[in-house]
Structure 1
Amino acid sequence: MEELERIQRRILERIAHLEFQLSLSSPSDDDDAANDATAERLSAILRVNGVNDFSFKVVPSDYYDRPLEARRHLLSAPSIHHLCKSIVLVNTQAQSHVIDCNNRNNSKFYVAVVQYTARFNAEMVKNYLYSLNEGKVPKKKFNLRLAPEELSNNLTGFGHNAVTCIGMKTDIPVILDEAIAKLSPDFFWLGGGEVYLKMGIRTSEFIQFVKPFVFSCSTA
């Protein structure tokens, strides 16, 4: 009888341990509600703007602790190169009258979408914007840096690890790294507006809707 009770205690302890581990790796009910609401809002924006080939997936809370190959598997992405992120940039040397995003060719802020497997190159962005403005703006007036988290949150409405360039609070010009546009198949993954929510989208439809600047802004 004592042996049976001991076995039962072990089983109960094991169940409790597994439940605890599950609570660490799974979003809470509040997270689920936020994921659903955000996915619905962004889906509506995409459909209204002619984007039909997209998908949302909820990932475990330890997603960013996992290697890229594990993340790729969770999203069923074709390769780790299809895993991308949106980073908010601020031009710290912009001309004094450049304080917002009214002029997309010479904006105070940009959002760059780059692959996790690539290294963002701010110098390439500087050179592109200088050429885009036909030399009318001195090159020294372009100095793109990662925006502080609070500023990024205020501009986009999305927190750390949740930033996406769909449905932002501010209409920030978007830069799409050329390497993403060349991916095959042309369907990539990026943040979905919540930490545990990721969005996959057909590249051609993304470009048609967002109308990003497409050029090389990273190195391998």
Structure 2
Amino acid sequence: MEDTTLQLLIKQITTLYSSSKLEPFYLEHFTRKARNTKLDESAPEIVKKVERACNELGIRNVSRFYKVESDYYEWELQRRAFRLVAPSIDHLCKSVIFENTRCIHDNIDDPLNSKYYCVIVQYVGSINTQKLMNFVRGLKNKSISKKNYNFRVADAEKSIELTGFENNGVSPIGMNQKLPIIVAKSITELKPPVFYLGAGHVDWKLALPIKNFIDVTGCLIADLV
């Protein structure tokens, strides 16, 4: 009975948040909270680094930082969403570093043919590596042979080297290296249009409007699920 009541409540909340009439009011409230909330001085230096990067990109005034409990990743997705006051579990996203193990070079200078990509996907989804390969290969009009593509999640050590962030704390903002970013198309369809990401440290999260993120990062959008 309790589970049924909870599921009904979740459905009602999700329906309310997804209303197009509510969206402008939600975004106004979200950005007002972002402007009026300062990062705690006790935040780890790595999180302050992400905040500085947000400032440099001009999106600090729409970015919200959250400190979560140390056992956060042991919780179910719905409990995490409630903790962050996220509109739904669909809004919870992660950044994963992918490596093209067959790339003919080792650099990341060309976003259309990089050795590494930062790929952002929802926790409720999974990355289809075949779709990822087809998308990246299509960026060069398929002029490069399929044999030169094989995407896999980068080793933890390499991910830390490229981003400066450890597992469950990876942020696409403030990375050590300016990796090309690919955002799953499903994220751009979220209502209301905000998403929640790692903020550089496992115990910290970052949320911001999707449009602002796309505008300042120049990220690529792909159907990856």
Secondary structure of the residue aligned to 1:69 is helix
TM-score normalised to structure 2 length? 0.79
1:60 aligns with 2:76: no
Aligned to 1:182: 189
* Consecutive unaligned residues in structure 1, runs of 5 or more: 1-31
CA-based RMSD: 1.4
Aligned to 1:37: 45
Aligned to 1:105: 112
Instruction: Specify the code of the residue in structure 1 equivalent to 2:185.
Output: E
Aligned to 2:86: 77
Secondary structure of the residue aligned to 2:200 is strand
Aligned to 1:155: 162
C-alpha distance in structure 1 between counterparts of 2:77 and 2:43, whole Å: 22
Aligned to 2:209: 202
Identity %: 34
C-alpha distance in structure 1 between counterparts of 2:75 and 2:97, whole Å: 23
Deviations, residues 74-107 of structure 1 (Å, cap 9, x unaligned): 1000000000000000001112xx1110111000
Instruction: Specify the code of the residue in structure 2 equivalent to 1:86.
Output: S
Q: Is the 8 A contact 2:72 2:80 kept in 1?
A: yes
- Matched length: 185
Identify which of 44, 56, 64 aligns with 1:48: 56
1:141 shift after superposition: 1.1
Q: Which has the higher strand share?
A: 1
C-alpha distance in structure 2 between counterparts of 1:92 and 1:42, whole Å: 28
TM-score normalised to structure 1 length? 0.81
1:167 aligns with 2:174: yes
Q: Is the 8 A contact 2:165 2:171 kept in 1?
A: yes
C-alpha distance in structure 2 between counterparts of 1:89 and 1:71, whole Å: 25
Q: Is the 8 A contact 2:44 2:201 kept in 1?
A: no
C-alpha distance in structure 2 between counterparts of 1:38 and 1:158, whole Å: 8
Aligned to 2:34: none
Aligned to 2:36: none
1:201 shift after superposition: 1.0
Secondary structure of the residue aligned to 1:106 is coil
Identify which of 144, 151, 156 aligns with 2:151: 144
C-alpha distance in structure 2 between counterparts of 1:203 and 1:107, whole Å: 23
* Consecutive unaligned residues in structure 2, runs of 5 or more: 1-39
1:38 shift after superposition: 3.2
